[in-house]
């Protein structure tokens, strides 16, 4: 990485933090590949049975950026906010790929995403679709869901990142969770 690129990432991150969504897009492209690479490498590197967390992957990505681009430690929360959206894409893309593979090979592959040993890829894809619908009506809450659900941020961190009170974030999460559960259980909340 050149020094220019380093400044670039830092500046983009700051611009995005200050509300420049184009900067977010630019960063997105740059960091997505990094996240995917780390996820794959980590999963391959660990012995079977060892577990990793999406948060760990996001964090590793951040550590790398910090070392390579000199990103300030204080930008961590903002980076996490951004990375959570990317993590969602990484994980959902992967789930889609696994699903295709599974259908094709008709054998049970070793679990990639698993909670209790079986793979919730299909559920994850459904959740992603539900989130798309949720986002149409509640964009702010969607970002919060991504941070909490895909990057494992805590309420307080999300609050700091979105500049909200922890109580608000907690309320938003309860709401989003209820909405998504209702949506996924087939009830749907209507096509509005």
Partner 1 sequence: MNDDELPGLFAEALALADGERRDFLAQLQGRDPELAAELARLLAGAATPSRLLDLAPWPIVAGEVELADDTPPPERIGAYRILRELGRGGMGRVYLAEEATADFRRTIALKVIDRPAPDALRRFRDEVRILSSLEHPGIARFIQGGRDSDGTWLLALEYIEGEDLVAYLRRRALPVAQRIELFLAVLEAVAFAHQRGVVHRDLKPAHLLVGPDGRPRLLDFGISKLLDPETHESLAVTRTEARALTPAYASPEQFRGEPVTPASDIYSLGVVLYEILAGQRPFATGGDSRAALERAVLATDPEPPSQAARRTGAADETGAAHPSRPPQRAFGRDLDAICLKALRKDPGGRYATADEFAADLRRFLDGRPVLAHRGGWRYRALRFAGRHRGRIATYGAFGLALAAIAFAWSVQERSTMKGSAAIGAAAAGAQPPSPVSVASTGTESVAELEHRFAAAPASLEAGAELATALLRDERFKEAAVVMARARQLPGAAEEPLLDKVEGLIANSLDEPQRALALFRRGLANAANRGRSDLVPSLQVALARTLSDLGQAVEGRAVLLAGRAEAERLGDRSTLALALNDLAVDELMQGNLAAGERLLEQALVPAHSLADLSRVGFILDNLSGIAIERGRPDLAEARYREAIDVWEKCGRKQRAAIATGNLALALADLGRSTEAAAAREAAIAALRTFGDRSAIAVVLASRANAAVDAGDLAAAEHDTDEIDTAAQAAGSRESLAYSEELRGRIAWLRGDLAAARRNFEQAENMHVADGDLDLAAEIAILRATEEYREGASGTAEALLTAALARLEGGGEGTTAILAEALRVGIEASTGKLAEAQARLARMGDQAASPSLTRQLAYLAARGTLAASLGRSEEARSDLRRAATLAGAGARPAVALELKLDLAALEHRAGSSLGASVALEVENAAAPLGLHHLVARARAFRTPRSLQTLR
28 binds partner 1 (CB under 8 A): no
Helix (H, G, I), strand (E, B) or coil at 172: helix
**Binder to partner 1 among 135, 138, 162, 166 (CB under 8 A)?**
138
CB contact at 8 A, 88 and 128: yes
**Binder to partner 1 among 4, 29, 47, 191 (CB under 8 A)?**
47
| Binders of partner 1 in range 152-191 (CB under 8 A) | 152-154, 157, 171-172, 174-175, 177-185, 187, 189-190
Q: How far is the CB of 6 from partner 1 (least distance, A)?
A: 12
125 binds partner 1 (CB under 8 A): no
| Binders of partner 1 in range 61-120 (CB under 8 A) | 63-64, 66-68, 73, 80, 101, 105, 109-117, 120
Helix (H, G, I), strand (E, B) or coil at 21: helix
Of the pair 23, 94, the CB lying nearest partner 1 is at 94
Place of tokens 């974030």: 169
d(CA 109, CA 106) in angstroms, rounded, equals 9
Nearest to 123 by CA among 111, 135, 113, 133: 113
Q: How far is the CB of 166 from partner 1 (least distance, A)?
A: 14
Of the pair 19, 49, the CB lying nearest partner 1 is at 49
Q: How far is the CB of 22 from partner 1 (least distance, A)?
A: 27
42 binds partner 1 (CB under 8 A): yes
d(CA 137, CA 6) in angstroms, rounded, equals 37
d(CA 97, CA 6) in angstroms, rounded, equals 32
d(CA 94, CA 115) in angstroms, rounded, equals 16
Q: How far is the CB of 15 from partner 1 (least distance, A)?
A: 23
CB contact at 8 A, 77 and 154: no
- Give the binding range for partner 1 (CB under 8 A) out of 2-10, 14-22, 25-33, 144-152: 144-152
d(CA 60, CA 57) in angstroms, rounded, equals 5
Of the pair 22, 178, the CB lying nearest partner 1 is at 178
């Amino acid at each position: 990485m050149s020094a220019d690129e380093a400044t670039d990432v830092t500046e983009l991150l700051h611009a995005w933090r200050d509300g420049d969504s184009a900067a977010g897009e630019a960063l997105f492209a740059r960091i997505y590949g990094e996240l995917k690479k780390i996820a794959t490498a980590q999963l391959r590197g660990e012995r079977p049975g060892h577990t990793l967390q999406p948060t760990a992957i996001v964090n590793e990505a951040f550590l790398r950026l910090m070392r390579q681009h000199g990103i300030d430690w204080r930008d961590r929360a903002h980076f996490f906010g951004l990375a959570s959206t990317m993590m969602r894409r990484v994980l959902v893309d992967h789930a889609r790929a696994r699903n295709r593979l599974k259908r094709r090979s008709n054998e049970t592959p070793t679990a990639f995403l698993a909670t209790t040993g079986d793979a919730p890829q299909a559920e994850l894809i459904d959740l992603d679709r539900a989130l798309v619908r949720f986002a149409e009506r509640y964009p702010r809450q969607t970002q919060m869901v991504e941070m909490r659900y895909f990057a494992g941020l805590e309420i307080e961190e999300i609050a700091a990142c979105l500049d909200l009170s922890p109580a608000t974030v907690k309320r938003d999460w309860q709401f989003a969770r209820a909405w998504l559960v209702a949506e996924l259980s087939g009830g749907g909340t209507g096509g509005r």
